[in-house]
Amino acid sequence: MKTIYLAGGCFWGTQRFLDQFPGVKRTEVGYANGHTAAPSYEDVRYRGTGHAETVLVEYEETQLPTERLLACYFLSIDPLSLNRQGEDVGTQYRTGIYYTDETLLPAIRAAVAAEEAVMGAPLAVEVLPLENFYRAEEYHQDYLVKNPTGYCHIPEKLMHLADR
């Protein structure tokens, strides 16, 4: 089992998007790589904590290789957009790939290089070691499962890729 942390704008949609793929065993939304301890949503949104809305992803690499997981992730974001995904704007909506296991770096670098080749430009996606991660409030966990008509910047058709 491997763990990676993916920031892709609003974490509600990113979590729902990632949950669809066989090999993803668990996801949890939270706040990563900021400069304050244990922030609340209000802190992240209004008090400049520096955290990114992020999804912790535990996955079975033999079933879903890291490069494939990241190729899926890139489908759900605009990798050239800095601090914005859809209508969500601000540093908390930046994109990022955060890791605690350095053995993932070759696959992360390969996936980023492949996406840069497709895009023809450097990505606005941070690739950094995870400094911290704080679980978001319970009402944010699986938000779009609990609230199926809730806002999401990811097109609905992308929520059913694994069904094909």
Cβ contact 40:137 at 8 Å: yes
CA-CA-CA-CA dihedral for 133, 131, 128, 70, to nearest 10? -20
Is 152 catalytic? The answer is no
Report the chain's C-alpha Rg in angstroms: 15
Catalytic residue among 6, 10, 32, 69: 10
Q: Is 87 exposed, middle or buried (0-12, 13-18, 19+ CB in 10 A)?
A: exposed
47-52 long-range Cβ contacts below 8 angstroms, 24+ apart = 50/91, 51/92, 51/134, 52/7, 52/91, 52/92, 52/93, 52/94, 52/96, 52/126
Residues annotated catalytic, as ranges: 10
